[in-house]
Amino acid sequence: MNTEQGRWSDRRIASLVSTVTGRRTRRRLAGAVALVVAATVGAFVLPSAASADPCNPMVNPVVCENSKPGTPASVWDIDGSGDPSIQGFATDISVNVGQQIDFKIKTDAAAYIVEIYRLGWYGGDGARKVAEVSPSASLPQNQPECITDVATALFDCGNWAVSASWTVPSTAVSGVHIARLLRPDTGGDSHITFVVRQDSSTSDLFFQTSDATWHAYNKYGGSDFYSGGGSVGRAYKVSYNRPFATRNSVERRDFLFGAEYPMIRFLERNGYDVSYTTNIDSDRRGELIQNHQVFLSVGHDEYWSDAQRENVEAARDAGTHLAFFSGNSVYWKTRYESSKDGTDTAYRTLVTYKETWANAKIDPSDEWTGTWRDPRFSPPSNGGRPENELMGTMFMVNDGDLALTVRAEEGKYRLWRHTDLTSLPAGTSAALAPHTVGYESDEDLDNGFRPPGLIRLSTTTGEVPQRLQDFGNQVAPGVTTHHLTLYRADSGALVFGAGTIQYTWGLDEMHDGQATPTDSRMQQAVLNLFADMGVQPATRMSALEATTASTDTTAPTVTISTPTAGATVARGAEVTITGTASDVGGRVAAVEVSTNDGASWHPATGTTAWSYSFHAAGLTTQVVWVRAIDDSVNTGTPATREFQLTGPNTLFGQRVPKHPAVDDAGAVELGVRFTPQADGFVTGVRFYKAEGNNGTHLGRLWTASGQLLADGTFAGETATGWQTLTFAEPVPVSAEQSYVASYFTPTGNYASEDWFFTRDWTSGPLVAPLSAAGAGNGLFRYGSSGGFPSESWGASNYYVDVTFAVSEDLPPSATSTTPADSSGDVEVDAILSAVFSKTLDPDSISFTVNSSSTVVSGTTAYNAGLNKVTFNPTTPLDPATSYTATVMAEDTEGRPGSVTWSFFTTIDSDLHTLFATDDVPATAAHSDPEAVELGVTFRPRVDGRVVGVRFYQGAGNTGNHPVTLWSAAGTPLRTAILPSTTTVGWRTAYFASPVEVAAGTDYVASYFAPNGFYPGDNGYFDSALTVGPLVAPGGDNGVFRYGSSGFPNQSHASTNYWVDPLFLTEEELPPVGQPGSPPPGSYGIFAPTDVPSVASWNDNDAVEVGMRFTPSVDGEVYGVRFYKGPSNTGIHTGSLWSPGGSRLGTVTFDNETASGWQTAYFPEVVPVSAGTEYTISYHTTVGQYAVTGDGLADEFTVGQLTVPNSGGTYRYGAGDLRPSSTSSHNYWVDIVFSPEG
């Protein structure tokens, strides 16, 4: 039913026997006996005199409805799914009162009738005939073959025609209904099941049917969610447009009459004010749940959609109580699609790809449709929300058959008041009705999602043949411990979890499946629960006691006995805390403990005397909170106990793995990804060793990208247990930065625990993050020598660990320096400082600053409040100089520490770069971990010198970075090295001496990124970039080289890798194109005396006209000119366009003459490259442009400018795009061009 493994091998025969022997004969006989008893002794008590009319006045519609004569089950019930020769379905799973519901029926009968029955108590008959309708179709009616989809095994019969309809009276009482289809010729019959809603109802109880589960097990058409056709032998989608065949096999217990029907009978027998809804309606009309006091999930409620769960949780959070008289509920996550019959009717297709069974995200939608608990692909999907977060329990037993059992101490809880369980002798227990924990059941697991304040109301323990082992794939024999549970949400709403499909078998004996006697104690518990939820029965069974809601508002108290306050415990050691609890007005039902300041709570063992074991973790102390909950679900104020902590911080302490040794003898490096939450030091690596894990073991610490930080060989190992390597020197690590600790074993046989890292693991200041795509945890690498482990599988924990210490336990270390190490552009009047991790002894402080030739004099000061040492130079530092600063000091206990760093002082404001200081990449770090040299080709426009190189460093771009200036031929001219840092932003390296560079000569500035993760913006250099005296040519710019550091000579997509030269010059900068002042020697295609054949063409539409041209040498375009006719009025805008259509320069003409040549200069000159075709154009809003027919038909050259054949261009419209239509005509547009040199 719920796992891929071993579905029905041993269970199918036993279930079939019990069903066949107990169904039509035994079940109906039992029902007849029940009717006799009800008639003779009276089965319920009315609140008023027996002669009162329950329908006048109408107080409770259910009581009124059930006072009417019923119809015996021998008339309305059927065998299994009924006669296959007459089958049908309703066009919606539910219908509101006053509305019409249609039936589609397939039969060869020449005549049949449709009898409508409402299910309820009806004196034990179980149903009442409320209507009879005749077919509206001509008979016999031929229905088409149903629509199928091979890929998903969908079988949709929505293309059948309507056969009959029923208009539900507006006075109808909400309920589960069946339409009995009866053919008089053979007596064959079948059922159509649907729900009549009352959307305006505010009934006390709101009963949700498990219709999604009915269809999940419905094999009409050949496939359900478990077997049949499709690409994997089961359906991915099932249709509501089908008759129900669910009751026709062993799966009949997964249909209405398995576990829901006995609850319907019980509720209506006792006169509860109840109305009915469906799984679908909890999705599409879920807001209505909040109109009721109690929401009921009953029976086998396995399949839930996301919106359905959100609506139920919203109702809980708004104060609606929830009662899950169900098991295996909220297990498979579903979604709904419209029908596939051509009508596109919403909510007619139920979808779940059961991605948990696929072990992959295979649903083509973004929605996760595996088990709700499965976290392996979320995020980015939306699974990973175990069902106990809502219900308190979660499915664990796929095949079980136990009797609900209550221990003596539990029998005294409020749930069992007015039963004989209250007087059970101490140390005993009572088994209630048989088969009531099964056939699938839940457990209360402390999995991190357990609701706080949960209490256990029963304890049933037993062996079962199939207990779940993972997220939904594997089962194995085992022992289950089942509990009824109850918790109170923050809104005050109570949430009850039966955690079993068949609890309702103890309420009423009429149901499919094994015959089960009712149990008055289980019946009374339901009345007690509903009373505490504020709901009372109107016709309580005479055998049951009246009960009222709890008036106990006094919370229990708790006392902690051991360990004593202030006790010292070692970090990672297992600590057992004990104590007592007491309550006034009720009984202590649970004690829970928090070891993380109330962020999460865990159940203790015991109640009035309790204990709980945990592993100590924390920075300096650990505070444990303990609180008690009573049987009215009042939660007490926590008591606290604080412990002093010693020893190193670790992730796993003295925990022992579930599997100490995996049967794998391969040599392998195993690791864990971790993130310290405070600055500190990793002092070593540890791992758990079992027998067979022999040989020499190596321990290593890495950055997240694989840079080795420290390593060593384990020595003095024990035969088994935790082994520890202490590094020769502690390794400083930063808060919120990820690292990897690993060890190498040559013989395998390592410890493992699957799916450990499906959630973040936190231990004091250390976090091992969950395993996610692109950042796995539980790491490994096979090979004879190991290495950086980067693979992961199954979110496994291989029990690799670190020893970590914060600053207080170690010598003082600098947490920051001003300026930062390797900083450039430091002001000459800067005050230097270093902040340390702990308090220093002021008398021990030494602060020195020096350049290559000079020791800087100055004054040193210490701020004890900030642990900050400052140095104020006596005179300003020299500009453009490299300095080294060193601080040495001791802490108050004499531990010595020091820090040394370097920086470069600013040059002056004449430093030129390609990019502004506040420019940043659009993509700061590409996910490319390969080692690569990255650079930019640049050309100075004047002579000068390059004093250094800077580059933008994004996250992950770590390691030492050599920077180099190269000639265009690849000769290195200067180099410098920037040390590794995690800084994000611009980083600057200055050369020991400047490099003289010549105007008009190409150079390359580059740096080496050993771990990749470089910035890169494609298309940035589609055209040349000119900034002051520097030009970055367009086209094949943005250069790189993979592998070792070297000259980068490849390019891709004109990408800017954000490398920048630092350039100085004393020469006057070139002009930037002031209007009327192009440099001498500038020229264009046409002479000032050239004129068109037509000065104003008779075309009045707005248009951009232009000309294509190609320079044979690099140069600069200063502006645009065009010939204007007298009718070409309005605003004119000139533009220069790149080959790709980017606008490189634009200017609006002003001070125009009435006609003749007009000239405008761009605000800045635009560099153009030899051999590249550009377009020069202008836009006129009134047309009337100049033209000479076929004036540009043939290619021609003027100086160093060539116009191709058909070199004219135009584009009608607003003028915001390059004119791309070609023409042989000359539209008299020209450039102002200056060649380089």
Does residue 1034 register a pLDDT over 90?
no
pLDDT in tens, 771-808: 988 899 999 999 988 899 999 998 999 999 999 988 66
pLDDT in tens, 912-944: 999 987 789 999 999 888 999 999 999 887 889
Whole-angstrom Cα distance, residue 1111 to residue 1088? 20
Whole-angstrom Cα distance, residue 588 to residue 1221? 86
Q: How far is CA 59 from CA 52, 62, 196, 275, 932, in A?
A: 12, 9, 19, 14, 81
Residue carrying the six token digits 């294509």: 1108
Decide if 557-646 and 668-809 have a common fold.
no
Whole-angstrom Cα distance, residue 722 to residue 585? 49
Spell out the residues 6+ positions from residue 740 whose beta carbon is closer than 8 angstroms to its own.
671, 672, 673, 674, 701, 702, 703, 704, 706, 779, 788, 789
Does residue 46 register a pLDDT over 60?
no
Helix (H, G, I), strand (E, B) or coil at 397: strand
At residue 721, the pLDDT reads: 95
Q: Which residues pair with 800 in a beta bridge?
A: 687
At residue 907, the pLDDT reads: 64
Q: What is the 3-state secondary structure (H, E, C) of 432-487?
A: CCCCCEEEEEEECCCCCCCCCCCEECCCEEEEEEEEECCCCCCEEEEEEEECCEEE
Whether residue 4 contacts residue 237, with contact meaning beta carbons closer than 8 Å, is answered with no
At residue 4, the pLDDT reads: 45
Helix (H, G, I), strand (E, B) or coil at 1031: strand
Query: Would you list the DSSP string of 101-127?
Result: EEEEEEE--S--EEEEEEES-GGGT-E
- Which amino acid, residue 146? C
Nearest to 966 by CA among 1043, 1038, 1048, 1025: 1048
- Which amino acid, residue 342? G
Whole-angstrom Cα distance, residue 124 to residue 120? 8
Segment (H or E) for 257: helix 256-269
Query: What count of other Cβ atoms lies within 10 Å of the Cβ of residue 1038?
Result: 27
Q: How far is CA 1120 from CA 785, 1116, 1152, in A?
A: 67, 12, 13
Q: 1012 falls in which pLDDT band (50, 70, 90)? A: very high
Query: What count of other Cβ atoms lies within 10 Å of the Cβ of residue 908?
Result: 9
Homologous superfamily of 1103-1235: PHR domain (2.60.120.820)
At residue 42, the pLDDT reads: 33
Mean pLDDT of 6-13: 29
Query: What count of other Cβ atoms lies within 10 Å of the Cβ of residue 138?
Result: 7
Cα angle 946, 952, 954; round to 5: 160
Burial 717-743 (b: 16+ CB within 10 A, else e): beeeebbbbbbeebbbbeeeebbbbbb
| 557-646: CATH topology | Immunoglobulin-like (2.60.40)
Segment (H or E) for 815: strand 814-818
Whether residue 532 contacts residue 630, with contact meaning beta carbons closer than 8 Å, is answered with no
At residue 619, the pLDDT reads: 84
Of residues 228 and 27, the one with the higher pLDDT is 228
Whole-angstrom Cα distance, residue 748 to residue 783? 11
Of residues 93 and 909, the one with the higher pLDDT is 93
Q: If you classify domain 932-1064 with CATH, what class do you get?
A: mainly beta
Q: Where are the beta strands (DSSP E) in 3-42?
A: none
Least confident of 419-433, 795-809, 873-887, 901-915: 901-915
Spell out the residues 6+ positions from residue 1064 whose beta carbon is closer than 8 angstroms to its own.
907, 910, 911, 912, 944, 945, 946, 947, 994
Which value, in Å, is the radius of gyration of the alpha carbons in the chain? 41
Q: How far is CA 1049 from the centre of its chain?
A: 42
Please say whether the dihedral angle defined by the alpha carbons of residues 613, 376, 500 and 318, taken in this order, is positive or negative.
positive
Whole-angstrom Cα distance, residue 279 to residue 332? 13
Mean pLDDT of 732-752: 95
Whether residue 258 contacts residue 299, with contact meaning beta carbons closer than 8 Å, is answered with yes
Q: Which residues pair with 640 in a beta bridge?
A: 625
Whether residue 923 contacts residue 896, with contact meaning beta carbons closer than 8 Å, is answered with no
Residue carrying the six token digits 């390597």: 725
Whole-angstrom Cα distance, residue 73 to residue 848? 99
Query: What count of other Cβ atoms lies within 10 Å of the Cβ of residue 1022?
Result: 18
Q: Residue 26 gets which letter from DSSP? A: I
pLDDT in tens, 465-517: 999 999 999 999 999 999 999 999 999 999 999 999 999 999 999 999 999 99
Nearest to 103 by CA among 169, 190, 17: 190
Model's pTM, two decimal places? 0.67
Q: How far is CA 278 from the centre of its chain?
A: 29
Query: Would you list the DSSP string of 185-232?
Result: TT--EEEEEEEEE-TT---SEEEEP-HHHHHHT--TTS--SSSSSTTT
Does residue 1158 register a pLDDT over 90?
yes
Of residues 192 and 904, the one with the higher pLDDT is 192
- What are the structure tokens assigned to 813, written together? 């270390």
At residue 695, the pLDDT reads: 94
Whether residue 583 contacts residue 629, with contact meaning beta carbons closer than 8 Å, is answered with no
Helix (H, G, I), strand (E, B) or coil at 13: helix
Phi, psi of 852 (to 5 degrees): -65, -20
At residue 828, the pLDDT reads: 87
pLDDT in tens, 1062-1113: 999 888 765 444 444 577 788 999 999 999 999 999 999 999 999 999 999 9
- What are the structure tokens assigned to 533, written together? 């939820």
Where are the domains positioned within the chain? 557-646, 668-809, 814-905, 932-1064, 1103-1235
Q: What whole-number percentage of the chain has pLDDT above 70?
A: 94
Q: If you classify domain 814-905 with CATH, what class do you get?
A: mainly beta
Whether residue 737 contacts residue 955, with contact meaning beta carbons closer than 8 Å, is answered with no
Ramachandran region, residue 1167 (left: φ > 0; alpha: ψ -120 to 50; beta: rest): beta
Whether residue 385 contacts residue 425, with contact meaning beta carbons closer than 8 Å, is answered with no
Spell out the residues 6+ positions from residue 848 whose beta carbon is closer than 8 angstroms to its own.
855, 885, 886
Q: What is the mean pLDDT of the chain?
A: 91
- What are the structure tokens assigned to 1214, written together? 């607003």
Q: Which residues pair with 945 in a beta bridge?
A: 996, 1064
Burial 809-826 (b: 16+ CB within 10 A, else e): bbbbbbbebbbebbbbbb
Whole-angstrom Cα distance, residue 867 to residue 863? 6
At residue 27, the pLDDT reads: 30
Query: Would you list the DSSP string of 738-783?
Result: -EEEEEEESS----BBTTGGGS-EEETTEEEPPPBTTB-SSEEEES
- What are the structure tokens assigned to 336, written together? 């709904």
At residue 916, the pLDDT reads: 86
Whole-angstrom Cα distance, residue 1079 to residue 1061? 27
- What are the structure tokens assigned to 38, written together? 């009800």
Q: Which residues pair with 182 in a beta bridge?
A: 113, 189
Whether residue 278 contacts residue 288, with contact meaning beta carbons closer than 8 Å, is answered with no
Output the CATH code of domain 668-809: 2.60.120.820
